[in-house]
Amino acid sequence: MKALVYLGPGKRVLAERPKPVVELPTDAVVKIGKTTICGTDLHILKGDVPTVATGRILGHEGVGIVDQVGSAVSHFKPGDRVLISCITSCGKCESCRKGLYSHCVQGGWILGNTIDGTQAEFVRTPWADTSLYRLPETADDEPFVMLSDIFPTGYECGVLNGKVSPGDTVAIVGAGPIGLATLLTAQFYAPAEIIMVDMDDHRLETARRLGATQSVNSRDGRVAERILELSGGRGVDTAIEAVGVPQTFELCQSIVAPGGVIANIGVHGKSVELHLEKLWSQNVTLTTRLVDTVTTPLLLKTVLSGRLQPLSLVTHHFSLGELMKAYDTFAQAAENRALKVVISNGRG
Amino acid sequence: MKALVYLGPGKRVLAERPKPVVELPTDAVVKIGKTTICGTDLHILKGDVPTVATGRILGHEGVGIVDQVGSAVSHFKPGDRVLISCITSCGKCESCRKGLYSHCVQGGWILGNTIDGTQAEFVRTPWADTSLYRLPETADDEPFVMLSDIFPTGYECGVLNGKVSPGDTVAIVGAGPIGLATLLTAQFYAPAEIIMVDMDDHRLETARRLGATQSVNSRDGRVAERILELSGGRGVDTAIEAVGVPQTFELCQSIVAPGGVIANIGVHGKSVELHLEKLWSQNVTLTTRLVDTVTTPLLLKTVLSGRLQPLSLVTHHFSLGELMKAYDTFAQAAENRALKVVISNGRG
Amino acid sequence: MKALVYLGPGKRVLAERPKPVVELPTDAVVKIGKTTICGTDLHILKGDVPTVATGRILGHEGVGIVDQVGSAVSHFKPGDRVLISCITSCGKCESCRKGLYSHCVQGGWILGNTIDGTQAEFVRTPWADTSLYRLPETADDEPFVMLSDIFPTGYECGVLNGKVSPGDTVAIVGAGPIGLATLLTAQFYAPAEIIMVDMDDHRLETARRLGATQSVNSRDGRVAERILELSGGRGVDTAIEAVGVPQTFELCQSIVAPGGVIANIGVHGKSVELHLEKLWSQNVTLTTRLVDTVTTPLLLKTVLSGRLQPLSLVTHHFSLGELMKAYDTFAQAAENRALKVVISNGRG
Amino acid sequence: MKALVYLGPGKRVLAERPKPVVELPTDAVVKIGKTTICGTDLHILKGDVPTVATGRILGHEGVGIVDQVGSAVSHFKPGDRVLISCITSCGKCESCRKGLYSHCVQGGWILGNTIDGTQAEFVRTPWADTSLYRLPETADDEPFVMLSDIFPTGYECGVLNGKVSPGDTVAIVGAGPIGLATLLTAQFYAPAEIIMVDMDDHRLETARRLGATQSVNSRDGRVAERILELSGGRGVDTAIEAVGVPQTFELCQSIVAPGGVIANIGVHGKSVELHLEKLWSQNVTLTTRLVDTVTTPLLLKTVLSGRLQPLSLVTHHFSLGELMKAYDTFAQAAENRALKVVISNGRG
């Protein structure tokens, strides 16, 4: 089968690889219908993720059709249409029983990381009963590709951890796909104001179209000041960091109101300065989280009922044979005005 | 001044009464701008509320302009535009400090009950600093009349107590003003389905227009069965009782899913049968609540930001001089397709 | 093997039955070390539980040693010492993923109910990975028999649902084993007062010894009045019903303070009268729950650290061969001053 | 009257000052019965707290008897025995109505900071109705001095923010008075293990006597390693920082388990390094808080019921005339084995 293979820092190839098979009784093999590329895949390609070995098939997002199941899989059978979660959960360990699937002792983020991933014609999914989600027969499968990772990530790490509530003022720093998924799911809770921050005017325009009430381009150097103005001098109830660099985390610290929350989503490569000399008395909460995907069933319901429209984040389409080109497009997101790219298997 | 006075069961009159004055240092006197009539006022007129004495000026809702303040009032001054909460809160007692304003030892629901109310040209409001809310100079005051009682009631007793959450299936039994205020504020939380139940097709039509995804007329005798069908046989996550009679409470018991919530809003005149022989093992939560109006500041923000549109519940307008006619209209709500009627002082 | 078998209403026998075997890959067979008898077993014997067929081996509590495991069991192997939960949880269904194990679509309370139970030399336990809990090698196993059912029941249905908190006043109605388990776990949260209610002075004496700050014998007909006195006229923050008859539920309604909680644990055979005409405005929460046993890992830690002493509820010991006599003793609990009886396999 | 006056960095004097009077209608003047010295007072004396002007009477803790009240004070009258909260709360502003008394727009921590404090014969207390708490006539007042600041601080900032729960493993870094108050109130929630960290063996010994299950002297340089061992390699559920320097905050980051909480109590003078490069994926929560004293009523109940024994932290007694000596003793806490010192007015 065709698969996108990591060959070490800076190197990827669309190669022919053997079709995976069921290895353990709890495995399934899924024929990929659609997959996508994540910012994390670009990090891997930069060599920033040491757990990814050379030769690994990338990708941790996708929808498809169950092709084979192991003998212990009881909830799925070949032919079932499924969503593949980016987080593998055994459902049995102490972490899983507490809803902390991201820290499953045998799972967590392993697809496209420590085992082969979804940017291929087929993928082996361990612990299938608790890591796949059934899709309705009638639904178009494309919106659900967005539910493998970015929507649960924005919702769990940003919106839920950030305790976004009706009437609140929320700032989301970073208007990439994750920031925009956060923006869309933040609206589940009717905040009064959502202020979007980015350096790319096109993305801010998209954010306003998708429900941001205010947007601030951070290039002007007065972003903290402007957000304080927009929040009546008080600061924001929730500041969501969706970039992953020290400057944006610094910004969050300077705009959060007493009693507020800083919810970190960004993948940080280095430590940051925490201003406890100021914040110790500000009654703030700061959260970090690798997505658990515990809200996938809930998000499925919001998509099926029309409350959530994930396709608003899809900008480009490719066939599986065009995966290299899809990467090129996604890697130059600004020039290409790319958010999420969808890669289809067998219909290109 | 003109005031609507209760003269015992079945009797009301628009009479001339002395203008109220500040009696205690924590009082304010407010010149009424707009007021409205509540279902509870009709209960009083039926003689169902024994705490209301003959001679009482009715009304516990309204907006207006501060006319006078007592010496201990520090947050308001004459000329301030204010919302009058239906619940008076001293801000000092154990209940108030816990957010249980409805059980304030010196306050609670007293306006138009144990002291004179808002259906008049002026009203004395005790504990003004903690029972009035400032309105912005620029805003039209009419939407805020709806925030004295029905919106906090629907939101606190129905939506918050009912733990309405994204993706949930919610049933609201009763599509009167309170039920519809519940419907509008339930949408703060993006439930997947909101099923509205009433016996009046016109109100159900209004409900669908205001965001109900399904509606069921309870006259057909199969309402529980139909709601179970609509919820895939599982029952609803939240059943909200907004009527106040045994039959509707019975309905809520028969449609709630295991793990779900029954949130009672209705004012009940008699006891009901609770089916513990069935419910003991169903992991359900049942709540009751007299509105605390702790969420008034939050609701103000949702109105000012445009997330909540309270005027969608206003069907009729009257001048203060037409208060008797306003009561006639509201008392025959079905014929008149009346939801909330707004009574204006000095602009009729 | 020897087993206690239900032969229809009023009839039980200690009979010879075939040793169970692994039927499904997710099963284990456990050699019982110790088991006990539950109040529910007496209900079954009265014929009150129609799901229990004639010929059923009773019992849903116990500790033992894993004898055999199915091919899909990955967390346990023969020889492991385990606690058997009274609730079987598949770990995969929507209910289990939400922590509502009691409503597991394939599990829930099935042991000694719809499948053979633990009052035998061996028991087959379905979904072993998610329904058994590992015991440390070194620990005495007797305290853990109490963690199969009564401690999670008292803790989850009574203490957690009842939101017992530091400084609170709590009433527990019923000082049988479940009520006393509630009393012990309520002390996890440092309530100021725990008032115990029962008709049996001996049990009330035990309750005081185990931490109740007050006790009231309900025979005197003034129990509500006395509890109101003990709570300064205010009523209790939490009233826990641990009996299951209308009178005790009525009592809970009359003693709960505004803003308080009634947490039902009792198994009710008939409906009760709910005084909504009074409670509608009292901001009370009422909960029901079949134990989920989601807190079993937590309870294990409290026992291992010495915070919880389950053996304080054990009054009698029998061998498996004496099971009929153990039932006689437990059925006449008052005369025998019996709380929990422990039945040991192979050391009688 | 006699009062302890701050005269600039390093300088304090016991001086004669005029007795305070009621200045605003919401004020009370309280005759001090007992007061104490806080670590914060030492910070002030070092010149670290710029809001404290030369000439200020220090002290923000104490119990006493109401001497005079302003005309708007309705809950207290001369002769009432009261606890003075370290936080002044107007009860009316948005922060107070949300329970964020520490950020009261007119109050917060002002006593012994921006207005004269309690280390004197009398003190003026603004917003008396919502900043004083009634003490029972019969109770010894000494335990309650500890409820002005250290117990609500340990409980709110450490235990509640840290979500200490039954069965948890908790580390408290710093065994000074605040750390020990945290230790005592952590036991309200029955954690399985409480590991105390300090550099002073005497304080660790005290901690073990007061309920710590483990203690680690941090001088040995292997403290993180040892705590990981003590928690089975997993780390702690809650790490509470009660020192206020970068090293101890660093320690907390290295011992918190995935899904755990770091609750900061310490007053930090400089920023710290936050290891987001490691923590971003660890699902941790970090909180800061200036005490709100919202839990004072709850803590009063736990003391009156005997669940909490604040006197276990009192090591020394002085008369008001010995205030300079009391400071000397407290400033050299280690040599003097001092925890809290109680200063009595009129019985020295």
Residue of B nearest to C100 (CA): B259
In this structure, what are the phi and psi dihedrals at residue C16, rounded to the nearest 5 degrees?
Answer: -90, 130
* C258–B281 C-beta distance less than 8 A: no
Place of tokens 């169903």: B282
Is the separation of the CB atoms in A128 and A111 below 8 Å?
Answer: no
- Residue pLDDT tens, chain C, 348 long: 999 999 999 999 999 999 999 999 999 999 999 999 999 999 999 998 999 999 999 999 999 999 999 999 999 999 999 999 999 999 999 999 999 999 999 999 999 999 999 999 999 999 999 999 999 887 799 999 999 999 999 999 999 999 999 999 999 999 999 999 999 999 999 999 999 999 999 999 999 999 999 999 999 889 999 999 999 999 999 999 999 999 999 999 999 999 999 999 999 999 999 999 999 999 999 999 999 999 999 999 999 999 999 999 999 999 999 999 999 999 999 999 999 999 999 743
Whole-number pLDDT of residue D228: 96
Q: Which of C72, C91, C92 sits opposite A25 (nearest CB)?
A: C72
Name every residue whose Cβ is closer than 8 Å to that of residue C153 and which is 6 or more positions away in sequence.
C178, C181, C265, C291
Radius of gyration of chain C from Cα atoms?
20
How far apart (Å, rounded) are the C-alpha atoms in residues A134 and A63?
10
Distance from CA of C253 to the nearest CA of D (A): 24
C188, C231, C296: best to mutate for the D interface, most D CBs within 10 A? C188
Q: Which of C166, C299, C305 sits opposite D298 (nearest CB)?
A: C166
Other Cβ atoms within 10 Å of B292 Cβ, number = 27
Q: Which of C167, C188, C193 sits opposite D166 (nearest CB)?
A: C188
Other Cβ atoms within 10 Å of C238 Cβ, number = 28
Is the separation of the CB atoms in D122 and D67 below 8 Å?
Answer: yes
Q: From chain A, pick out residues whose CB is under 8 angstroms from the CB of C26.
A: 72
For strands D193-198 and D214-217, give the pairing.
parallel
Residues 156-175 of B with CB under 8 A from A: 165-168
Distance from CA of C161 to the nearest CA of D (A): 15
- pLDDT below 50 — which residues of chain D? 347-348
The answer to whether residue A203 scores a pLDDT higher than 50 is yes
C134 to chain A, any CB pair closer than 8 A? The answer is no
| Residue B125: both structure tokens together | 């409001």
The answer to whether residue B147 scores a pLDDT higher than 90 is yes
* D268–A290 C-beta distance less than 8 A: no
D72 to chain B, any CB pair closer than 8 A? The answer is yes
Q: From chain C, pick out residues whose CB is under 8 angstroms from the CB of A129.
A: 92
- State pLDDT tens for residues A151-187: 999 999 999 999 999 999 999 999 999 999 999 999 9
CATH number of this structure's domain C2-149+292-344, picked from the four choices 3.90.180.10, 3.10.580.10, 3.30.300.170, 3.40.50.11540:
3.90.180.10
State the helix-helix crossing angle for A223-230 and A246-255, rounded to 10 degrees.
30
| Residue A173: both structure tokens together | 């720093």
* A92–C91 C-beta distance less than 8 A: yes
B52 SS3 class: coil
A230 to chain B, any CB pair closer than 8 A? The answer is no
Distance from CA of C294 to the nearest CA of D (A): 13
* B75–D25 C-beta distance less than 8 A: no
* D302–C167 C-beta distance less than 8 A: yes
- The sheet with strand C285-287 has its strands ordered as B214-217, B193-198, B169-173, B236-241, B256-264, B285-287, C285-287, C256-264, C236-241, C169-173, C193-198, C214-217
B286, B291, B293, B294: best to mutate for the C interface, most C CBs within 10 A? B286
How far apart (Å, rounded) are the C-alpha atoms in residues D292 and D299?
13
Looking at residue A320, its amino acid is: L
- State pLDDT tens for residues A5-54: 999 999 999 999 999 999 999 999 999 999 999 999 999 999 989 999 99
| Residue A172: both structure tokens together | 């989301």
Residues 29-68 of D with CB under 8 A from B: none
- State pLDDT tens for residues B267-290: 999 999 999 999 999 999 999 999
Residue of C nearest to D297 (CA): C167
List of chains touching B (3+ CB pairs within 8 A): A, C, D
C136 to chain D, any CB pair closer than 8 A? The answer is no
A347 to chain D, any CB pair closer than 8 A? The answer is no
B9 SS3 class: coil
A209 to chain D, any CB pair closer than 8 A? The answer is no
Q: Which of B25, B92, B294 sits opposite D75 (nearest CB)?
A: B92
Radius of gyration of chain B from Cα atoms?
20
C302, C303, C304: best to mutate for the D interface, most D CBs within 10 A? C302
Task: Calculate mean pLDDT across residues B123-142.
Answer: 94
Provide the CA D273 distance to its chain's centre, in angstroms.
Answer: 25
Q: Which of B102, B259, B285 sits opposite C283 (nearest CB)?
A: B102
Q: From chain A, pick out residues whose CB is under 8 angstroms from the CB of C25.
A: 25, 71-72
Q: From chain A, pick out residues whose CB is under 8 angstroms from the CB of C94.
A: 297
* A301–B167 C-beta distance less than 8 A: yes
Q: Which of B25, B97, B294 sits opposite D72 (nearest CB)?
A: B25
Whole-number pLDDT of residue C137: 85
Task: Calculate mean pLDDT across residues B229-245.
Answer: 96
Architecture of domain A152-287: 3-Layer(aba) Sandwich (3.40)
Calculate the dihedral angle through the C-alpha atoms of D296, D298, D303, D307, rounding to the nearest 10 degrees: -140
Task: Enter the ipTM.
Answer: 0.96
* B288–C283 C-beta distance less than 8 A: yes
Domain boundaries, chain B: 2-149+292-344, 152-287
B88 to chain D, any CB pair closer than 8 A? The answer is no
Nearest to B247 by CA among B309, B173, B196, B317: B173
Distance from CA of C289 to the nearest CA of A (A): 19
| DSSP conformation letters of A91-134 | S-SHHHHTT-GGG-SS-BS-BTTTB--SSBSEEEESSHHHHEEE
Distance from CA of B275 to the nearest CA of A (A): 30
D39 SS3 class: helix
B301 to chain A, any CB pair closer than 8 A? The answer is yes
How far apart (Å, rounded) are the C-alpha atoms in residues D277 and B271?
59
- What is the value of pTM for the model shown? 0.97
In this structure, what are the phi and psi dihedrals at residue D339, rounded to the nearest 5 degrees?
Answer: -110, -95
* D299–C192 C-beta distance less than 8 A: no
Is the separation of the CB atoms in A63 and A83 below 8 Å?
Answer: yes
For strands A214-217 and B132-134, give the pairing.
unpaired
Q: From chain B, pick out residues whose CB is under 8 angstroms from the CB of C272.
A: 273-274, 276
| Residue D79: both structure tokens together | 């002769």
Distance from CA of B287 to the nearest CA of C (A): 4
Whole-number pLDDT of residue D348: 37
Helices (H), chain D: 39-45, 94-97, 142-145, 150-152, 177-186, 201-209, 223-230, 246-255, 276-279, 296-304, 323-331, 333-336
B230 to chain A, any CB pair closer than 8 A? The answer is no
Distance from CA of A269 to the nearest CA of D (A): 5
Distance from CA of D182 to the nearest CA of C (A): 14
Other Cβ atoms within 10 Å of C336 Cβ, number = 14
Is the separation of the CB atoms in C221 and C247 below 8 Å?
Answer: no
Q: Which of D166, D297, D298 sits opposite C302 (nearest CB)?
A: D166
| DSSP conformation letters of A226-289 | HHHHHTTTS-EEEEEE-S-SHHHHHHHHHHEEEEEEEEE-S--SS-EEE-HHHHTTTT-EEE--
Nearest to A44 by CA among A104, A107, A89, A109: A109
Whole-number pLDDT of residue C246: 97
D134 SS3 class: strand
List of chains touching C (3+ CB pairs within 8 A): A, B, D
Name every residue whose Cβ is closer than 8 Å to that of residue A256 and which is 6 or more positions away in sequence.
A235, A236, A238, A239, A262, A282, A284
Q: Which of A189, A193, A304 sits opposite B188 (nearest CB)?
A: A189
How far apart (Å, rounded) are the C-alpha atoms in residues C134 and A199?
53
Helices and strands (H, E) in chain B, number of each type:
13, 16
> Chains B, D: CB contacts under 8 A, how many?
37
D276 to chain A, any CB pair closer than 8 A? The answer is yes
Strand partners, B57: B5
Residue of C nearest to B249 (CA): C276
Name every residue whose Cβ is closer than 8 Å to that of residue D154 and which is 6 or more positions away in sequence.
D178, D179, D180, D181, D182, D183, D184, D185, D242, D265
The answer to whether residue A333 scores a pLDDT higher than 60 is yes
Whole-number pLDDT of residue A194: 98
Whole-number pLDDT of residue C331: 96
How far apart (Å, rounded) are the C-alpha atoms in residues A178 and C180?
50
Helices and strands (H, E) in chain D, number of each type:
12, 16
Q: From chain B, pick out residues whose CB is under 8 angstroms from the CB of A304.
A: 192
How far apart (Å, rounded) are the C-alpha atoms in residues A61 and A30?
12
Residue B159 has what DSSP assignment?
I
Residue of D nearest to C194 (CA): D305
* B286–C285 C-beta distance less than 8 A: yes
Whole-number pLDDT of residue D23: 97
Distance from CA of B183 to the nearest CA of D (A): 26
A53 SS3 class: coil
The answer to whether residue A347 scores a pLDDT higher than 80 is no
